[in-house]
């Protein structure tokens, strides 16, 4: 038996662009754009991507597909991790090379845990958790000590990059009366 996760055409295309990015700002701008496109296509206001740290090349892109697939685990970060590991055929990206995950918003409790298992070496986000909580999403138990734990495992953490632009996507989702898919 196979369980299927539907990836929209526009996201599939982005996964095949094989583009390289130079700066952290350019990469963050890219995932914020993914979040924006996802909202236009009826999804939650979150985007993520995984890049090769050495070359800046995109390995995978994810957007929040909770509503489109009726699956609560399909946050942007989880989709990016699944597509990356499918691409390299390994349950740990650290076995393949050095990769970093960019997310338009601070990862929720689930995604924070998933990042640890994924094998990425660097995590960056735009909007802080409070911005997502402010529009109604229950981001779960994420504490300062949670991120300190990941750092202790050798993962570099950087939050708040282009945070105003990233927060704007969240605010526009609220204005559009987007579905807040809490349990």
Residues making contact with a copy of itself (CB under 8 A)? 1-7, 9, 12, 66-67, 69-73, 78, 81-83, 85-86, 89-94, 108-114, 116-119, 138, 140-141, 143, 145-146, 149-150, 153, 181-183
Q: In this complex, which beta carbon is closest to a copy of itself, that of residue 67 or of residue 171?
A: 67
Least distance CB 8 / a copy of itself (angstroms):
8
Which helix H or strand E contains 61, and what residues bound it? Answer: strand 58-63
Least distance CB 164 / a copy of itself (angstroms):
27
Answer for the pair 81, 110: CB distance below 8 angstroms, yes or no. no
Judge whether 144 counts as a catalytic residue. Answer: no
Beta 58-63 vs 122-127: how paired, if at all?
unpaired
d(CA 46, CA 130) in angstroms, rounded, equals: 14
CA 143 to the chain's CA centroid: 19
d(CA 154, CA 81) in angstroms, rounded, equals: 18
d(CA 113, CA 40) in angstroms, rounded, equals: 28
Least distance CB 23 / a copy of itself (angstroms):
26
The partner residues of 105 in beta bridges, in order of sequence, read 127
Catalytic residue among 4, 33, 40, 77: 77
Least distance CB 25 / a copy of itself (angstroms):
27
Give the residue numbers marked as catalytic. 77
């Amino acid at each position: 038996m196979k369980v299927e996760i539907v990836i929209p055409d526009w996201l599939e295309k982005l996964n095949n662009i094989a583009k390289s990015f130079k700066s952290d700002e350019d990469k963050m701008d890219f995932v914020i754009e993914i979040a924006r496109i996802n909202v236009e296509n009826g999804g939650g206001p979150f985007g993520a991507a995984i890049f090769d740290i050495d070359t800046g090349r995109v390995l995978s892109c994810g957007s929040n597909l909770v509503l489109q697939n009726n699956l609560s685990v399909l946050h942007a970060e989880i989709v990016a991790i699944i597509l990356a590991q499918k691409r390299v055929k390994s349950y740990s990206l650290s076995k393949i090379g050095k990769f970093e995950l960019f997310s338009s918003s601070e990862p929720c409790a689930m995604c924070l845990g998933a990042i640890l298992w994924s094998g990425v070496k660097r995590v960056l986000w735009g909007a802080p958790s409070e911005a997502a909580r402010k529009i109604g999403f229950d981001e779960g138990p994420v504490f300062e000590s949670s991120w300190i734990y990941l750092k202790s495992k050798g993962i570099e953490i950087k939050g708040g990059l282009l945070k105003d632009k990233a927060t704007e996507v969240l605010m526009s989702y609220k204005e559009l009366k987007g579905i807040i898919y809490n349990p």
